[in-house]
Amino acid sequence: MQTLVATLQHTPGVETAQFDMEWLQRFYAILAVGKRLVWAVGLLLGIGVLFIIGNAIHLSIQKYHREIEVYQLVGASDRYIRRPFLYAGILYGLFGSILAGVLISVLLWSLQAPTQELVGLYHSDFRLHGMDFANGIALLVAGMLLGVLGARLAVGRYLRGR
């Protein structure tokens, strides 16, 4: 950075060039705190998704409690009993992640104009971009994994309690 300041000072038409390293360090510290906050909120939301899907699967288990007992009486394995609930968890996670992707797209679309106004004040070419294909797939896979994990926990708790 010091070489950039020195170069700018010797540029014709530049009267003074000043670099405030202390301000930049504060800015990077604020960015680091913001990044950790985003990760913490994401972790809390993921845990919330596990509880919500686990509760939905638990309600489904209660609904089919009699059928599950009949399956157990005729010798069905735990894997056989668990399978439909795991599929339901995958579907819950898939539909939830699709909804999350749509909501993120709507949010980015609604922030596009105000962001461009702000960026225009600083004469920058910054643009908000939506999720690319890889991030979209990662969102879908993460949603399905959270769904299957929540379902597995709920069914496992039920099967251990019988």
Residue 25 pLDDT grade (very low, low, confident, very high; cuts 50, 70, 90): confident
pLDDT digit string, tens, across residues 96-152: 999 999 999 999 999 999 989 888 887 878 888 889 999 999 999 999 999 999 999
pLDDT digit string, tens, across residues 31-46: 999 999 999 999 999 9
**What pLDDT is attached to residue 134?**
96
Burial class (CB in 10 A: 0-12, 13-18, 19+), 48: exposed
**What pLDDT is attached to residue 94?**
97
Q: Cα torsion at 151, 156, 157, 162 (round to 10°)?
A: 130
- Asked if residues 91 and 147 have their Cβ atoms less than 8 Å apart, the reply is yes
> What's this model's pTM, rounded to 2 decimal places?
0.78
Q: Where are the domains of the chain?
A: 21-160
